[in-house]
Structure 1
Amino acid sequence: MLLFVEVCIIFLDFELYSIWHIIIQKLTRKQTINYAWILPKRLLLKNQHGKSQNLKNLDSRF
Structure 2
Amino acid sequence: MEGKANAHLLAFLGKAFGVAKSLVSLESGELNRQKRVRIRRPTRLPEELGIAARPA
User: Fold-level match, TM-score > 0.5?
Assistant: no
**Which of these two proteins has the greater Rg computed from alpha carbons?**
1
Flag the structure with higher helix content: 1
TM-score normalised by structure 2 residue count: 0.39
Question: TM-score with structure 1 length normalisation?
Answer: 0.36
Structure with the higher strand share, 1 or 2:
2
